[in-house]
């Protein structure tokens, strides 16, 4: 808002790139600084006239800056094309977490920005973790169900929380029909 004030434009758009994947991939669900930073960036979308390009799928373990600049640029351009140039029917974001509900031993996760439907890039959903109230996360199975995802694990009988792509360098395959990747998220805090 201070930049908008200095430029004398209260509706000045801000488009930014969410941190890409980086560092070695972990074999177990874990905490880390990168997921929290991505979460902070995601929360910025609550401000008016902002847009975020998710880059979780173009990062590299040993290179902090993704080499695939075209994918990032095209994703940012979608926001400008829709909001600044009037292409109103253009999907600008991959799936964003909206809500969740426990259904027996599974959790149903709903999304916005499904843009032609959810899909699993490569055919299998990966990157979901689930936990009971104790917040001990384990890798989970996940299945598409319309514009939502069902998440479960045989080792978690009373699920309470779900995380997706919550790692420095996660394996994640959830996309929408516009071929845009889902943003990492967590339902716990």
Instruction: Check: CB of residue 106 under 8 Å from CB of residue 150.
Output: yes
Q: What is the pLDDT of residues 162-177, one digit of tens each?
A: 999 999 999 999 999 9
Among residues 57, 52, 61, the alpha carbon closest in space to that of 80 is found at 52
31: pLDDT confidence band, cut at 50, 70 and 90?
A: confident
Q: What is the pLDDT of residues 125-151, one digit of tens each?
A: 999 999 999 999 999 999 999 999 999
Looking at the whole model, is its pTM more than 0.75? yes
């Amino acid at each position: 808002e201070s930049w908008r004030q200095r430029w004398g434009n209260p509706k000045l758009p801000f488009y930014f790139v969410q941190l890409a994947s980086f560092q070695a991939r972990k074999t177990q669900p874990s905490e880390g600084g990168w997921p929290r930073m991505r979460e902070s960036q995601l929360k910025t979308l609550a401000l008016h006239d902002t847009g975020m390009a998710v880059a979780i799928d173009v990062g590299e373990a040993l290179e902090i800056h993704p080499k695939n600049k075209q994918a990032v640029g095209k994703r940012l351009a979608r926001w400008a094309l829709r909001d600044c140039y009037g292409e109103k029917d253009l999907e600008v974001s991959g799936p964003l977490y909206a809500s969740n509900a426990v259904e027996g031993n599974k959790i149903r996760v709903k999304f916005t920005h499904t843009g032609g439907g959810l899909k699993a890039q490569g055919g299998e959903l990966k990157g979901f973790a689930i936990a009971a109230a104790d917040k001990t996360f384990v890798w989970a199975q996940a299945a598409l169900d319309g514009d939502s995802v069902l998440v479960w694990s045989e080792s978690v009988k009373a699920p309470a929380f779900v995380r997706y792509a919550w790692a420095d360098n996660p394996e994640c395959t959830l996309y929408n029909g516009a071929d845009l990747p889902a943003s990492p998220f967590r339902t716990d805090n």
